[in-house]
Amino acid sequence: MKALIRKEMRENLKVTLVGLAVLLLLILVTYRNYAWTLKNQFFAQDMQPLMGNGVVSMLSFFCAIFGGLLGWLQVWNERHRDLWAFLIHRPLTRTQIFFGKTFAGLLLYLLMPGLPLLVCILWVAIPGHVPAPFEWAMALPIAAAFLGGIVYYFAGMLTGLRQARWYASRCLGLVMAILVSIGVMNSFEFWHGLICIAAGIVILGTAVWGAFRSDGCYEGQPVSGKAALTTVLGAGLALIVFIVMLLAIEVAFRGIRGDEWSRYVMTKGGAIWNVTSKSDGRSNVRRLVVDLDHQPIPEGKTGGLDQSEWQRGEATTSSIHLPSPYSWRGSESFLRSYRFFTLWRVSSGTIWYYWRSQGCLVGYDLTTRRFVGSLGPNGFSQTLPSAADNSHHSVEQSWLSSGHTLATSNAVYEVNLDRRVARRIFTSDSERILAVMDLEKNGADWIYTLIVGEHSIVLLDPQGTLVWKQPFQAPSGWFEDRLKLSSLEPADQYAIWASEIVRTNSPAGASPPVLVTWFGSGQGAPQSVELPALAQSHEWPTLQKLLSASVPPVFVAMTPLLDGHPWPSTIPKELLRISLIVALACVPVVWWLGRRYHFSFVAQVSWVGFIVLTGIPGLLAFLSVQEWPARESCPQCRKPRLVDREHCEHCGAEFPPPEKTGTEIFEPAGTAQA
C-alpha cells in the first residue's frame, strides 16, 4: 500500500502546488488590504483577521473548492476503463485501495492548505502583528473552514466515482457537502459545527468506500455503503427539491400567497401606529395603518403611505440584548468576533476593545500593534487582569453602546479613555445588571445610560443621577426582540418597548401585549401606555405550507432544535402533518416498484420506512440509486421475469440455454494439451 500512497502523492503534487500558489496569493491580498485598513484607519469589528467575515468566507470557499477538486482528481485521473482495471487489479483489497488513496489525499490536504493556515494563525498569535485581542478559540472558524474542506474532498471523490449522469445524481455528494457547510455556518458552538462536519465525513466517506467496492454502482456495495449513498443522495435532493419548489411557487403560485400580519410601529414623533400588512402574492404589500383609536392615518392622494414616506416616518428601533436563558443560543456564534470582543473606539493612537473573556477594555498601539494595557473597574493596568479580578465582569455590552460606560454585574463605570480612568456612576445592590446602553444626542453627546436589571429598568444621566426607574421582569423564555428602544425626534427623546413575555414571564403562545414608555430630556416623568395584544394568526403562511410538502418530515420535526426551541413541544405540527401526508403518498410508488422488482421483505420495509421519514427527496433518492434490471418474458409462464435472477420468480423455471443453430463445436476441456 505504501507504493500506492507514494504514487498518489506524486500524482497529485502538481495540483497541490497550484493550490498553494493560489492560497498564498489570497493571503497576500488579504494582508495588503489589512495593512491598508490600518494605515487609513478604517477600523471595523473585523480587526482580528482570523475572525474577519471576508477572510473566513474566502478560506471556506478555497478549502471547499480545493478539497473537492483534489478528491475528484484522485479518482478522475484513473477513470479510464483500462487504467482503473490496472489499479483495481493490484493484489490489494478495494478497501486497502480506498484507504491508500484517502490517506495520500488527506495527507496532501493537511500539508496544503493545512500547513499554510497554521502558519497564518501562528503569525497572528505572535504579539506585534495584529493590534487586536487574540485567543486560540479565534482560530476555530478557520479550523472549521479547513475541516469542512475534507467533506468536499470526499464529495469530490464520490462525484468522480459515481456511475451516474452529471446532470442527475452524480454531483449530489457536493450538494450534501453544501448542506454541511450551511450547518456549520449556523452552528453556535464549534462542536456543533464539528458534529456536522464529522457526520458529513462519516457519511460521505462510507459512500466513497462503498463506491470503491462496487466501481461506483449501488449494487454490489455493502449495506453500510448503500445506506450512506442513499443518505447522501437524499440529503442532496432535499436541498434541490426545496429550491425547485421555492422557485416553482414564486413563478407559478404567486397569486395564492395572500398572507396578512400586524405589528406596532412608532413614528419619529412618538405616535404609535398599528400596521396591518397584506401581501397579494405579487410582491405588492398593502398596508392598512390605524392609530391606537383605530382611526386611519390621513391618506395622501395615493390612498396610503408610499415606501419613502413610510421610511421617513418610522422611528429607528433597536433590540437591547439580554442574556439568554439558553446557554448555547444566547451568545454569539463561534464564527463571529462579537463572541470575543467588541471594537470600543480609537483614542490617541490606541485602539480599544471590550474583551469579553477578560471583562475589561484592552488597548493596542496602532503603530507598534502591541498591547498597551487594560482598563477595568480597578483602573488602568499594563497587563491583563488576573482571573480573580475579572471573574465578576460578565455583563453583555449592547452593540449600540457608544463606549462611554463599562458595566459589571453590579456596577456601571464611566470610562475616560484619554485619561485611562474608570469612575463608578451606578451601583446595584439588590439585582444583577443584565444590559447597558449609552444614548447619545445627534450621535455625539452622551445624554443617558439605560441600565436593564433583573427587576427594573433604570435611566441615568452622565453624572449618574437617576432619571426614572420602571419595574421589569427578566425573561426566562424565548426573548428575541422583547426589549427594544426607539430613537425619536427631537434627538433626545426615546421610547422603550417591553413585551409581556419579558415583563411577566407569561406563557408563550398568545401574542403578548406591549408596554411602551416614553422618556427624554425636559419631559418630566416618563409616560407609559399598555398596548393590547395584536391578533396573531395561528395559521402557517401558505408559502410555508406548500414548501413543507417538499421537505422531509424528519427535517420538519427537527427544525425547533435548529432554533434552540424546546423539543418536541414546539414541532410545527401542521407543517409536519402536510409533510407526512406527502411522504405517505409516496409510499405506494415504492411499494409497487419493490413488488415489481421482487425486493426482499426486509428491503421493501426498509425503503418504506426511509420514504416515510424523507418524503419526496427520499423517493427521488430511491429512484436514483436503484439499478433497475431488465425483464424478459419467461418461456414457461410467459410472465415478465427479472434477468438478474437464476430462476423465474413466478414459476421457478431456469433461464433457457441459447438456441442451438447446429453449428456448435464443443469438446471437453483437456482434449488437446500443449
Nearer to another protein, 137 or 623 (CB): 623
CB of 672 closer than 8 Å to CB of 664: no
Nearer to another protein, 85 or 535 (CB): 85
In this structure, what C-alpha cell is assigned to residue 580? 407526512
Smallest gap from residue 82 Cβ to another protein (A)? 4
Nearer to another protein, 251 or 674 (CB): 674
Smallest gap from residue 644 Cβ to another protein (A)? 5
The residue type at 585:
A
Residue where the block lists cell 420506512: 609
Smallest gap from residue 75 Cβ to another protein (A)? 14
Smallest gap from residue 657 Cβ to another protein (A)? 6
Nearer to another protein, 293 or 646 (CB): 646
Nearer to another protein, 387 or 669 (CB): 669
- Residue 81 neighbours by CB distance under 10 Å: 9
Residue where the block lists cell 462611554: 404
Nearer to another protein, 80 or 455 (CB): 80
CA angle 359, 192, 435 (to 5 degrees): 30
In this structure, what C-alpha cell is assigned to residue 409? 454585574
For the chain, the first-to-last Cα distance in angstroms comes to 38
Residue where the block lists cell 440455454: 657
CA dist., res. 407 & res. 451, Å (int):
9
CA dist., res. 625 & res. 229, Å (int):
8
DSSP state letter for 647: B
Footprint of another protein on this chain (CB under 8 A)? 2-3, 7, 10-11, 80-86, 88-93, 96, 214-215, 217, 219-220, 629-630, 632, 643-646, 655, 657-658, 661-674
Smallest gap from residue 663 Cβ to another protein (A)? 5
Longest CA–CA span in the chain (Å) reads 119
Q: What is the DSSP string of 428-487?
A: -SSS-EEEEEEEEETTTEEEEEEEEESSEEEEE-TT--EEEEEE----SS--TTSEEEEE
Smallest gap from residue 154 Cβ to another protein (A)? 23
Nearer to another protein, 252 or 665 (CB): 665
Q: What is the DSSP string of 213-242?
A: HTTT-STT--HHHHHHHHHHHHHHHHHHHH
Nearer to another protein, 285 or 643 (CB): 643
Nearer to another protein, 302 or 600 (CB): 600
In DSSP terms, 468 is beta-bridged to 459
Smallest gap from residue 223 Cβ to another protein (A)? 16
Smallest gap from residue 105 Cβ to another protein (A)? 16
CA dist., res. 65 & res. 59, Å (int):
10
Smallest gap from residue 41 Cβ to another protein (A)? 52
